[in-house]
Structure 1
Amino acid sequence: MRRLYFATLSTPSASSGRSVASRAQASNLVGVSSAFLASPDFNERPLRLSIHGVREMNPGFFRKLGGARNAGEAARIFEEYMEVLFGLDEEQRMRPGPDGRRRYRASYRRLLEGWAFDSNGPEGAVLKGWVESRFGLFPTYHKRPIERFSSPTWVTYVEEKMASRFHNNAIQMQLDLLYEFAQWSLDRASGRGKRHRTLYRGVEGFEENQILERRGKGSALVLLNNLVSFTTEREVAEQFGSWILTARIPLAKILFFRELLPHHVLQSEAEHLVIGGAFEVEIGRP
Structure 2
Amino acid sequence: MATGGVEDDRASGVQARAVDRDSPLSMRAHRHNMVGVPSLELDSAAFNDDPRPLRIHGVRPQNPALFEALDRTSDPDTAADVFQHYMAFTFGLNPDFSGSEGADGKRRFRASYLRLLKGWMFDSNNAEGAVLKGWVESRFGLLPTWHREPIRKFASDAWTRYAEQKLSTRFHNNDIHVQLDLLYEFTQWWIGRGWGPMAGLKGARHLRLYRGVNAFDEHHVVSRPDRRTAVMHLNNLCSFSIDRHIACQFGDYILEAQVPLVKIIFFRDILPRYPFNGEGEYLVVGGDYRVTVSLL
TM-score, normalization by structure 2 = 0.86
For residues 283 and 238 of structure 1, what CA distance do their matches in structure 2 show?
12
SS at match of 1:138: coil
Where in structure 2 are the equivalents of 1:141-180 lying within 5 Å? 141-180=146-185
Following superposition, the deviation at residue 181 of structure 1 comes to: 0.2
For 1:187, give the aligned amino acid: G
Q: Percent identity?
A: 48
List runs of 5+ in structure 1 lacking aligned partners: 9-22
Q: 1:139 corresponds to which residue? A: 144
For residues 221 and 154 of structure 1, what CA distance do their matches in structure 2 show?
25
For residues 28 and 237 of structure 1, what CA distance do their matches in structure 2 show?
31
Deviations 1:15-62 (A, max 9, x none): xxxxxxxx1111000010001100011101111111000001001110
**Could you say if the C-alpha distance between residues 6 and 280 of structure 1 is closer, same or farther in structure 2, counting changes exceeding 3 Å?**
closer
Given candidates 59, 64, 67, the residue that maps to 1:59 is: 64
**Could you say if the C-alpha distance between residues 267 and 117 of structure 1 is closer, same or farther in structure 2, counting changes exceeding 3 Å?**
closer
List runs of 5+ in structure 2 lacking aligned partners: 1-16
**Could you say if the C-alpha distance between residues 34 and 185 of structure 1 is closer, same or farther in structure 2, counting changes exceeding 3 Å?**
same
Q: 1:219 corresponds to which residue? A: 229
**Could you say if the C-alpha distance between residues 208 and 91 of structure 1 is closer, same or farther in structure 2, counting changes exceeding 3 Å?**
closer
CA contact (8 A) 2:92 2:101 kept: no
Q: 1:188 corresponds to which residue? A: 193
For residues 274 and 117 of structure 2, what CA distance do their matches in structure 1 show?
8
CA contact (8 A) 1:200 1:232 kept: yes
CA contact (8 A) 1:54 1:176 kept: yes
Deviations 1:150-176 (A, max 9, x none): 111100000000000101211000000
Corresponding position: 1:261 with 2:261: no
Which stretch of the first structure deviates more once superposed, 72-81 or 174-183?
Answer: 72-81
Deviations 1:237-265 (A, max 9, x none): 01001111000000000000121111345
For residues 231 and 238 of structure 1, what CA distance do their matches in structure 2 show?
10
Report the count of equivalent residues.
271
**Could you say if the C-alpha distance between residues 201 and 175 of structure 1 is closer, same or farther in structure 2, counting changes exceeding 3 Å?**
same
CA contact (8 A) 1:24 1:136 kept: yes
Which stretch of the first structure deviates more once superposed, 256-265 or 62-71?
Answer: 256-265
Following superposition, the deviation at residue 205 of structure 1 comes to: 0.8
CA contact (8 A) 2:25 2:145 kept: no
Given candidates 249, 272, 292, the residue that maps to 1:239 is: 249
**Could you say if the C-alpha distance between residues 141 and 278 of structure 1 is closer, same or farther in structure 2, counting changes exceeding 3 Å?**
same
Q: 1:229 corresponds to which residue? A: 239
Q: 1:95 corresponds to which residue? A: 101
For residues 283 and 275 of structure 2, what CA distance do their matches in structure 1 show?
12
Given candidates 27, 36, 44, the residue that maps to 2:41 is: 36
TM-score, normalization by structure 1 = 0.89
CA contact (8 A) 1:243 1:285 kept: yes
For 1:136, give the aligned amino acid: G
SS at match of 1:27: coil
Corresponding position: 1:126 with 2:131: yes
Given candidates 275, 283, 290, the residue that maps to 1:280 is: 290
Following superposition, the deviation at residue 214 of structure 1 comes to: 1.1
For 2:229, give the aligned amino acid: S
CA contact (8 A) 2:120 2:128 kept: yes
CA contact (8 A) 1:97 1:103 kept: no
Q: 2:8 corresponds to which residue? A: none
Q: Which has the higher contact order (CA 8 A, sep 6+)?
A: 2
Following superposition, the deviation at residue 103 of structure 1 comes to: 2.7
For residues 70 and 222 of structure 2, what CA distance do their matches in structure 1 show?
41
CA contact (8 A) 1:116 1:265 kept: no
For 1:87, give the aligned amino acid: G
Deviations 1:116-140 (A, max 9, x none): 1110000000000000000000000
Corresponding position: 1:71 with 2:76: yes
For residues 155 and 26 of structure 2, what CA distance do their matches in structure 1 show?
14
